[in-house]
Structure 1
Amino acid sequence: MTGEWQPSACILCECNCGIVVQVEDRRLARIRGDKAHPASQGYTCNKALRLDHYQNSRARLTSPLRRRPDGSYEEIDWDTAIVEIAEGFKRIRDSYGGDKIFYYGGGGQGNHLGGAYSGAFLKALGSRYRSNALAQEKTGESWIDGQLYGGHTRGEFEHAEVAVFVGKNPWMSQSFPRARVVLNEIAKDPARSMIVIDPVVTDTAKMADFHLRVRPGTDAWCLAALAAVLVQENLCDEAFLAEHVRGADGVRRALRDVAVCECAAHCGVDEELLRTAARRIGTADSVAVFEDLGVQQAPNSTLCSYLNKLLWILTGNFAKRGGQHLHSSFAPLFGQFSGRTPVTGAPIISGLVPSNVVPEEILTDHPDRFRAMIVESSNPAHSLANSAACREAFASLELMVVIDVAMTETARLAHYVLPAASQFEKPEATFFNLEFPRNTFQLRRPLLTPLPGTLPEPEIWARLVRALGVVTEADLRPLHDAARRGRHAYTEAFLTAVSTNPTVAQLLPFVLYETLGPTLPDGLRGAAALWGLAQKTALTYREAVRRAGHADGNALFDAILDNPSGVTFTVHDYADDFTLIGHPDHKIALEIPAMLQELAKLSSGPPRLTTEEFPIVLSVGERRAYTANDIFRDPSWRKRDAEGALRVSVEDAQALGLADGCRARISTAAGSAEATVEISETMLAGHAALPNGFGLDYIGDDGRTVVPGVAPNAQPHVAGHLGALVGLQVGAGTLEYLPQRLGDAIGPGAVEHLFDLARGAPVGVALQRAGDALPGGDVTALQSRTDGGGRPEFHRLVEVRQRGGRAAAAVALVPRGRPVRRRSRASVGCQRHLASSSIATATARQRCLICSQSAGASASGPWSSG
């Protein structure tokens, strides 16, 4: 009701802090933290207060859309859309097999409930393969977790004596309840310590007792040194290792061979500082560790996941107050399906296809390629690496359907677009339930009725299943009747139906929606799937559920329905941690041979990410005060950093002649984009950073489309093993990153977001022209460009190299007044490729070594002279 404070939750990060909202004229007029929420307890960050920019975005969809042959879209009614989509997927299934239908998504940071219903439709079609953003971010850690103890762990930072953050800035990215409150408590307590591993002086690093400021991409050497000190200085908890761990001896042997002094030199951290930090970990009563995307999307990401877990396992900081814990889950975030993808043979980890091989699984004539795709509440054409390849792949599909609240970059490639109700117009929930010892869950009630023309995802999926005709009324009638008689009768009827009717057993979310859903309180039909999850939770964590006050699954489900601010669904004892270990002996399996092999390789030092000419590394995806993935499309939600500034160090700014607020052009082999420069003392020399969540188009107040900031995935950097070409242009000069192969040992779908970037004098560029053979060896040519007054503005030094029969050119732009460094090579170029100025001496060939035209001739083609 208008004017009343109604409970809900923030949808912008995995915390999903409880909020209360006053609604006026379909606007989320006032928002504040919900003190009744059992986890966040009234806490919220600044981002939650801006949620109306999501709810009332101009990008909202209000009708199903069908793509015309010319690429435009026409509105169609729901009945037509459902029938045509169901028939289209049946045709794909019958022609090629249901496993050629690929599913991506399932919900963002705040909407997982709709995705729970997708499974019924996919199973009815025989679809097997799926992926989502977790495959791009978290599968490396998930694989390590599975090997070590078979589940996910979370640190109890509220009580930890020492908190360790690896590639994580929780002051800005939150990720655990009451993050800033907890960080302040640690920082102000002289008996507690905070250790931050990060190349940037982040907000959290400023609070830390130990800031291990690694060089970008060298986290593995820092972590290896810390773990090695624990072993070499006898700081391990030997009693814990003997009783609760197997494989510790092999790990000890490997760490005794680690040269701490060499690791310190490689990562750029003072050796004594590393040793002191390790001793602090080794002597603390409790240690909690958090790794995040800063290291999970960097070189050696999977090895880093392993090494940071050694810190708390070797010191026995498990199953104790303030330590690391396995925890209950209301619903699994990862699946059990493994194997390899049908075309590329990439490993499927935690049930997810590596997201960055998706284009390769489509753009092929392989008979097992994906032919159709469903995208739900996700935007892979924007968020996956190499957006151009994604767009090409998605456009080639025989059928693509997108379910979303907005006309996203991905939706514009679909054959059909189905408009979903917003997260505040339907019952909704998330399964980021990661806390210990008290774990919580919240079912959010709708604050508003669905926008006309939209439907909640559970209803969309139910209509699609009905259109397939796989379930009859006779299948559902016993459950309909039982639901009207109450929970106990329904439970008995449901168990009977599942055991005797294979169709019901296969389509459980749909069955619950159709039979139990109509009996739920008004507006909560979409919560029916939670009944099944409540039963499973009560059986899996029987005693912990009872400690939380719920006698059984039905009691837990009713508590969820009756408490809109959320409930505590499990309360564990610390000793329960050992029962949650997934191995039969309930011991941690510490030795992972593949990881110890990678650890040994660190002795050769880190691969050089830069060269003398190109010494700046760019990190992409930094969390800032006003970034929120791509949930917000309306840029006006940002009170500052509206363009997503490129942060550069003071030293690099001075060397390049940059000033705060100047514009920089980001250039690649595929195109270019611009960014505003922010000079920051938080950045190391040779390191620059761009934020996440930018580059989304939006219709402004004047009706024109605007695209604030940079969409880094629009540049052709892809999964680490494929390398990258990305660049930055400053004024008259251009900087561009060289391709690197940064894949780690396991490489389960992680994108490596570190690339070479040139700086200084000269400011450099790297370009690659694939497929063109060079007629000769290395050459160098010098070119100048004049400013408006006819004076030289900059010189352009072009070096063309023969590399495996393919042309590669490095182009350095030297600002006026700085010396030009020439190589002793012959120089040649046509007017197009070395345009309009002083071309140095030509070779006897008198041919441009880029396009083979006569030197001085004009040329056409993809290589421009600008």
Structure 2
Amino acid sequence: MTDPSETPDRSFEPNPTVCPFCGVGCTIEYAGRGGATGVEGPVNARGEICPKGAAAFDVVDHEDRLTEPLVRHNGSFVTAPWEEALDRVVDGIGGVIDEHGPEAVQFFASSNCTNEENYVLQKLARVLGTNNVDNCARLCHASTVAAMSERLGAGAMTNSLDDLREADCVFVNGANPAEQHPVAFRSYVLPAVRDGATLVHVDPRANDTTEAADVHVPLRPGTDIEVANAVAAVLIEEDLVDEAFLAERTTGFDRLRERLADVDVAANAEAAGVEPGTLREAARAYGEADRAAIVTGMGTSQHRCGTDNVHALLNLALLTGNVGRPGTGVNPLRGQNNVQGASDVGGLPGVLPGYEPVTDPAARERVAEEWGVEPPAEPGLTEVEATHRFGDDVRAAVVFGENPAVTEPNATAVRSAFDDLDFCVVVDLFETATAAHADVVLPGSAWAEKAGTVTNTDRRVMRMRPNADLPGNARRDFEVLTALGRRLTDRPEAFDYDGPEDAFDELTRVAPIYEGMSYEGIGDGYQRWPFDADEGSGTEVLHEEAFLTGERAAPLAVVDPVPPADELDAGELTLTTGRVLQHFNSGALSRRSDRLTAMRGEDVLQVHPSDADDRGVEDGDRVTVSNERGTVEATAEVTPAVREGVVFCTFHYAEPLANALTGDELDPAAKIPEFKHSAVAVEPAADAADGSEAAGDD
């Protein structure tokens, strides 16, 4: 990495902004010599940051940054002036629309970019005539949004990070916040535990979060429903439900109670591979607490039954009355700094800004009054559905700040599908795996070079402020997107903004949950949605008197187990994936960070000792992990931290990446893929078997 302090053609200046990594939303600023420092902010009140935040500037002035537009010429990229590159985009996208219609174009929004940028991108898609716009929330939390929106009326955290400190029990299901959201864990969860709260951790792998837990439920991947139903059955059996809340605030209790009466806790425990006593201990910890909060993550959501998994967790909260009070609720932790905001502002195929359905005529009419164009009435394609149709129904793609050739499931097939497109334009910082398939690559702006807002995991809208100018001939993402809007549509005036603040003001008129917000009101702090303009404040705890559905009562749901898509053949193991502290998303950023790379260590596959012994694998051996979709090579870490029958690796560093192995069967409700359960064979690598020295990963 080039030290920014030694780069004469660029200027850096400290300016409080929001960390570009996880959804916690810590405030950081430039600290000199290429480093970032934490400053006191809305979330990190003491100015603390994690190692990713400290390394945030590593990519800003990296030598690999794109600084000129690239266009494909005779199969290779050459630099081109901006006007020529933009003309190529207009010709490419416009040609596809002319021949196949706007539904033949897919727009990939970015959960790592600002609200204003994502708002402009989804507006561009809809003004052109398609709802084919999606963001990577589809790959991580779509099932959470689907279940919570259906039952409660909103798919975001029901509570705030602050009131997690008031919980008497924190039930962490399918998440590892100690490593993935370390500031939130240290500042909000651990204080509750130190004050006597019980921490229950439901996860197939023991990790840093487990170390702080009182109860660990090491379930088999794919058995979340069996575990949650068993917990619910114990709550009813041992009279740990809230009868008054059930009578006043829920419907369907008799039907659920009848179904749960048939649940054999011991049989469910056996199916999940845990002790019945452990499930009962977890249920009692949750049910006996005055205030119990569920914290959930991608281990819950990334399944073919992810929506049902969340429905089963919602039952626990509703059965015990743990909704609508501080220290309670169901609280998904977002994985990138603007996963929440990219969805809030309409970066999803089925909803307009503010989560109003595209099928709602009144919502479309209100948007049309602002835009001068009514959005299409039919939901568009999700990004996974779209990649399945590349070269057929979908002929062009606009990829903004995302890397779907890496992040999509069955990644080898997705990379091949990109080559079937008639045209692809990518806006990014680097020549990513996706950019390798593009016809035009436009150099955009890093987090530290832009202004705007992002919305963190507990619904706080916060200001981004630039700490650096742009390298070379790169342009700010907002300017690139508005230029495309003016050139591609027949309503150029709809994309004529004075800047991001102008677009945000428009957003507040289009999205009801943001109505009344302003840059001035946010200032150095935040405004939280849903925002009450009359009161000048946001709502910290949702669903206190009524649910956001508008109803006083929420339904309880009967949820039956769903088997994973991949069936295990004899000798196969279940592969589950995730990230650790120094990793981020596709790896395009964390790979280019000197600080994070120094922390990286070996690219390992965690294997239980008995599974390793059965396969003749020893700690440190190179192994191949394979199925019909692909093969990945990694170094074995033999450890009891992962349960027997399961192997774990990160999805960032192996070559090829672990998504070469993951399946692309989708949850029927949320269209989220099953990243957390893949059947694989594990065996010593050929070069390890013959005694030769294995080549290390780059």
Select the residue among 179, 182, 185 that pairs with 2:185.
179
Structure 2 equivalent of residue 129 of structure 1:
132
Say if 1:464 and 1:641 are closer, same or farther in 2 by CA, change over 3 A: closer
Shift in Å at residue 181 of structure 1? 2.7
Aligned with residue 78 of structure 2, among 74, 98, 104: 74
Matched, 1:142 2:145: yes
Tell me how far 1:121 sits from its aligned partner: 2.7
Match of 2:575 in 1: 618
Superposition TM-score, scaled by structure 2 size: 0.83
Shift of 1:60: 1.2
CA distance in 2, matches of 1:390, 1:575: 40
Corresponding letter in the other structure for 2:571: F
Distance, in Å, in 2 between the alignment partners of 1:339 and 1:442 is: 27
Secondary structure, in 3 states, of the residue corresponding to 1:640? helix
The structural deviation recorded for 1:258 is: 1.4
Is 2:489 the counterpart of 1:465? no
Whole-angstrom CA distance in 2 between matches of 1:2 and 1:458: 20
Provide closer, same or farther for how the CA distance between residues 559 and 689 of structure 1 changes in structure 2, counting only shifts above 3 A: same
- Aligned-partner Cα distance in 1 for 2:304–2:99: 42
Q: Name the CA distance, whole Å, in 2 between partners of 1:751 and 1:68.
A: 38
Q: Which residue pairs with 1:221 in the alignment?
A: 226
Contact 1:230–1:278 (CA under 8 A) maintained in structure 2? yes
List aligned pairs for 1:590-601, cutoff 5 A.
590-591=556-557, 596=558, 598-599=559-560
1:640 Cα deviation after fit: 3.1
Q: CA deviation at 1:466?
A: 2.6
The 1:786–1:323 alpha-carbon spacing in structure 2 relative to 1, beyond 3 Å, is closer
C-alpha distance in structure 1 between counterparts of 2:307 and 2:691, whole Å: 52
- Structure 2 counterpart of 1:836: none
Q: Distance in 1 between matches of 2:553 and 2:297?
A: 25
Alpha-carbon shift at residue 350 of structure 1 (Å): 12
User: In 2, Cα distance between the equivalents of 1:54 and 1:580?
Assistant: 45
Distance 1:194 1:380 in 2: 35
Task: Tell me: CA distance 1:179–1:626, structure 2 relative to 1, closer, same or farther (3 Å).
Answer: same
Alignment CA distance shift 1:787-1:276 (3 Å)? closer
**Which of the residues 381, 386, 404 maps onto 1:380?**
404
Specify whether residues 352 and 443 from structure 1 end up closer, same or farther in structure 2 by C-alpha distance, changes over 3 A only. farther
Q: Quick one: distance in 2 between partners of 1:350 and 1:317?
A: 36
Q: Distance between the aligned counterparts of 1:336 and 1:786, measured in 2?
A: 51
Q: Which residue of 2 aligns with 1:502?
A: none
Q: Identify which of structures 1 and 2 has the higher relative contact order when contacts are C-alpha pairs closer than 8 Å and 6+ apart.
A: 2
Residue identity in the other structure for 2:15: Q
Distance in 1, matches of 2:520 and 2:479, equals: 22
Separation (CA, whole Å) in 2 of partners of 1:607 and 1:73: 40
After alignment, is 331-340 or 378-387 more displaced? 331-340
Contact 2:396 2:421 in 1 (8 A): yes
How far the C-alpha of 1:576 sits from its partner, in A, is 5.9
- Paired letter, 2:474: T
**Residues 299, 131 of structure 1: CA spacing in aligned structure 2 closer, same or farther, 3 A cutoff?**
closer
Distance 1:449 1:30 in 2: 16
CA distance in 2, matches of 1:409, 1:320: 45
1:206 aligned partner = 211
Whether 1:711 aligns to 2:673 is no
Q: Residue in 1 aligned with 2:460?
A: 440
Q: Which runs of 5+ in 2 are unaligned?
A: 1-9, 333-339, 352-356, 360-375, 532-536, 693-698
Relative distance call for 1:661 and 1:351 in structure 2 (3 A) is: farther
CA contact under 8 A between 2:621 and 2:684: conserved in structure 1?
A: no
Deviations 1:707-726 (A, max 9, x none): xx5401234x4313xxxxxx
Q: Is the 8 A contact 1:14 1:109 kept in 2?
A: no
Q: Kindly indicate whether residue 168 of structure 2 is the aligned counterpart of residue 167 of structure 1.
A: no
Are residues 1:157 and 2:115 paired? no
1:749 to 665, 672, 680: 672
Residue 325 of structure 1, CA deviation: 6.7
Q: For residues 133-179 of structure 1, what are the alpha-carbon distances to aligned partners after superposition, in whole Å with 9 as ceiling and x for unaligned?
A: 1222222222211221210242542211110111111101118x632
Check if 1:18 corresponds to 2:30. Answer: no
Distance 1:627 1:422, change over 3 A: closer
2:696 aligns with none
Q: Which residue of 1 aligns with 2:18?
A: 9
The match for 2:121 is 118
Aligned partners of 1:3 and 1:749: how far apart in 2? 40
Within the candidate set 446, 449, 457, 1:422 is matched to: 446
Supply the distance in 2 between the matched residues of 1:298 and 1:469 (Cα, whole angstroms).
Answer: 38
Match of 1:456 in 2: 476
Displacement of 1:76: 0.9
The alignment of Structure 1 onto Structure 2 pairs a total of residues equal to 639
1:223 and 1:448 mapped to 2: Cα distance? 48
Q: Does 1:34 align with 2:39?
A: yes
State the shift of 1:674 in Å: 2.3
Rounded Cα–Cα distance in structure 2 between residues aligned with 1:3 and 1:81: 28
Match of 1:851 in 2: none
| Contact 1:199–1:215 under 8 Å retained in 2 | yes
Give TM-score, length-normalised by structure 1.
0.68
Check whether the contact 2:38–2:49 (CA below 8 A) recurs between aligned residues. yes
Superposition pairs for residues 116-515 of structure 1, below 5 Å?
116-154=119-157, 155=159, 156-174=163-181, 178-190=184-196, 192-298=197-303, 300-324=305-329, 331=345, 334=348, 336-337=350-351, 353-364=381-392, 369-432=393-456, 434-435=457-458, 440-468=460-488, 470-471=490-491, 507=494, 510-511=495-496, 513=497
User: What is residue 619 of structure 2 aligned with on the other side?
Assistant: 660
* Counterpart contact for 1:225–1:259, Cα < 8 Å: yes
Deviates more, 1:656-665 or 1:91-100: 656-665
Aligned partners of 1:326, 1:210: CA distance in 2, in Å? 19
Q: Is the 8 A contact 1:614 1:764 kept in 2?
A: no
Contact 1:374 1:400 survives alignment (8 Å) = yes
| Corresponding residue SS for 2:471 | coil
Identify the residue that residue 822 of structure 1 maps to in structure 2. none
**Residue type at the aligned position of 2:19:** C
Alpha-carbon displacement from aligned partner over 1:555-601 (angstroms, at most 9, x marks no partner): x33233x43x655675456786246623343321223xxxx3x51x5
Distance of 2:680 and 2:539 partners within structure 1: 50
The whole-number CA distance in structure 2 between the counterparts of 1:272 and 1:607 is 29
Instruction: Decide whether the 8 Å contact of 2:37 with 2:49 is kept in 1.
Output: yes
**Offset of 1:4 from its aligned partner?**
6.1
Contact 1:334 1:350 in 2 (8 A): no
How many Å separate the matches in 1 of 2:668 and 2:465?
44
In 2, Cα distance between the equivalents of 1:297 and 1:670? 18
> Which 10-residue stretch deviates more, 397-406 or 669-678?
669-678
Task: Tell me which structure has the larger Cα radius of gyration.
Answer: 1
1:317-364 CA distance string (max 9 Å, x none): 111121117999874665644799xxxxxxx99966343333331244
CA gap 1:230/1:30 in 2 versus in 1, 3 angstroms: same
1:266–1:606: 8 Å Cα contact kept in structure 2?
A: no
- Aligned equivalents of 1:745 and 1:680: distance in 2? 35
The question of 1:589 aligning with 2:558 is answered no
Pairs within 5 Å for 1:435-834: 435=458, 440-468=460-488, 470-471=490-491, 507=494, 510-511=495-496, 513=497, 517=498, 525-535=499-509, 540=513, 552-553=516-517, 556-560=518-522, 562-563=523-524, 566=526, 571=537, 577-578=543-544, 581-591=547-557, 596=558, 598-599=559-560, 609-611=567-569, 613-630=570-587, 631-634=589-592, 636=594, 637-669=596-628, 672-695=631-654, 709-715=655-661, 717-720=662-665, 746=669, 748-758=671-681
CA shift at 1:112, angstroms?
4.1
Distance 1:335 1:535 in 2: 20
Structure 1, unaligned runs of 5 or more: 341-347, 477-506, 518-524, 543-551, 696-708, 721-742, 766-784, 790-866
Cα RMSD (Å) of the superposition? Answer: 3.4
Residues 572, 680 of structure 2: 8 Å contact kept = yes
Aligned to 2:101: 97
Secondary structure of the structure 2 residue equivalent to 1:243: helix
- Structure 2 counterpart of 1:441, which letter? V
Which residue identity lines up with residue 659 of structure 1 in the other structure? E
Shift in Å at residue 749 of structure 1? 2.6
Aligned mates of 2:86, 2:443 — CA distance in 1:
12
Query: For residues 257 and 220 of structure 1, do their structure 2 counterparts lie closer, same or farther at Cα, with a shift above 3 Å needed?
Result: same
TM-superposed deviation, 1:293: 1.0
